[in-house]
Amino acid sequence: QKIAEETKKYMDENYHKRLSISEMAKHLKYSHSFITRSFKATYGLSPVEYRTKLRLFDAQMLLMQKKMNVSTVVYASGFSDPGRFMKQFRQLFHARPSQFKAEFFSDKSNPL
């Protein structure tokens, strides 16, 4: 569990960087497979799945800022592939990023 917690802490601090799980394992001085097994046993998802969710929730927060457009958000949240970002965002939030942003700001101006 300690290894999973160390991995989670490192990911929480570095999810926006382009680090592979192997690079992270090397930094933490554990094997890729050991980190993956420990993390999944503790948190119920793989380090890659967790990092993706961190990035998507970060993207959601960034989309709530008027000055951030979708293409800027893709890279600012740590994604390198806009198509993959769009697909994963839609799977998690059941809306396209642009749709989410539009609905967020239309709701903000509506007092009800």
pLDDT digit string, tens, across residues 62-81: 999 878 899 999 999 999 99
**pTM of the entire structure?**
0.86
The dihedral formed by the CA atoms of 1, 43, 8 and 59, expressed in degrees to the nearest 10? 180
- What residues does each domain of the chain span? 2-109
Instruction: Given CATH 1.10.10.60, say whether it is the number of domain 2-109.
Output: yes
Dihedral sign computed on CA atoms, order 9, 11, 17, 22 = positive
- Which CA distances in Å does 65 have to 2, 78, 109? 36, 17, 14
Give per-residue pLDDT as tens, 29-69. 999 999 999 999 999 999 999 999 999 999 999 999 878 89
Q: Which residues of 96-110 are buried (b: 16+ CB within 10 A; e: fewer)?
A: ebeebbeeeeeeeee
Q: What DSSP string runs through 50-61?
A: HHHHHHHHHHHH
